Every structure is written in structure tokens, then in C-alpha cells.
Amino acid sequence: MKKIAPVLLLLCTSCNVDTQLLSGTWKAVSFYQNGKTVQVPLDSVELSFAENGQYSFRSVGFYKEEGPYRASGKYLFLTDMTAKPPREHTLSVLFLSNDSLKIGMKKDTSEQVLFFQRVVSGKW
């Protein structure tokens, strides 16, 4: 049991979203639904996280939302304050590195995955 405890502790700490690594602007590069690539226009889909706990999301057309976010374990909870009444979205962080972000979502009975690439100095 003494040998298993450190491994379990390491696994639990690696399940938490690193909000410092998450901070910045992310550009969508691919979208999957139920394991299959979906061809949708992603050129204007962007997700930004600020160190002060605020996020903004913009999508095709003029769609935009923003508000506070919080992380718990591998989940992100985004509260869209532009909606009346405000609504909360739950996202699963499937992968996060310096330049890549993989988000899992559910829509009705569909599993959706959105891949993002970090925007660096206005380029991606």
C-alpha cells in the first residue's frame, strides 16, 4: 500500500487543469462528433482565458460569449454572462500542453471534441 499511495497522488494531481498553462488565446483547428471529423468553418472560432478567471469565446458570424470560468479537476465551468439568464457550460479538458488544447463536450447524445492551437503574437 505504501508503494501505491505516491502513484495515486501523482495521478490525482495530473487530473487538474493547469490554469496558468490554459491562459491565453486558442484558435480552433478541428472538430469531431462521435469520433468522426465534421467539416465546419473554424476560421473565426477562438477561445481565450485570462489569468483573472475570465474567458471569452467567439464563433462563426457575430456570436460571442464571455464571463467567469473556474476549473475543477479536469473540468472547466464557463458562465456565459451575455446570456439572459446567464448559463454555465461544462467542458472536459482531454489534453493540454503549451501549444495544444483538446476539449470534450456533450450535445444531447453526441460526444464532441474540439482541438485548439495556441495563438502566438496574433499568429497561429
* CATH 2.20.25.90 for domain 4-118: no
Q: How many CB atoms lie within 10 A of CB 95?
A: 12
Query: Considering only CA atoms, which of 89, 91, 90, 111 is closest in space to residue 101?
Result: 91
Kindly indicate the confidence band of residue 121, based on its pLDDT and cuts at 50, 70 and 90: low
Residues across the chain: 124
| For the chain, domain boundaries | 4-118
Assess whether pLDDT exceeds 60 at residue 6: no
Q: Is the predicted pLDDT of residue 13 greater than 50, yes or no?
A: no
* Dihedral sign for Cα atoms in the order 87, 88, 91, 97: positive
Higher pLDDT, 27 or 10: 27
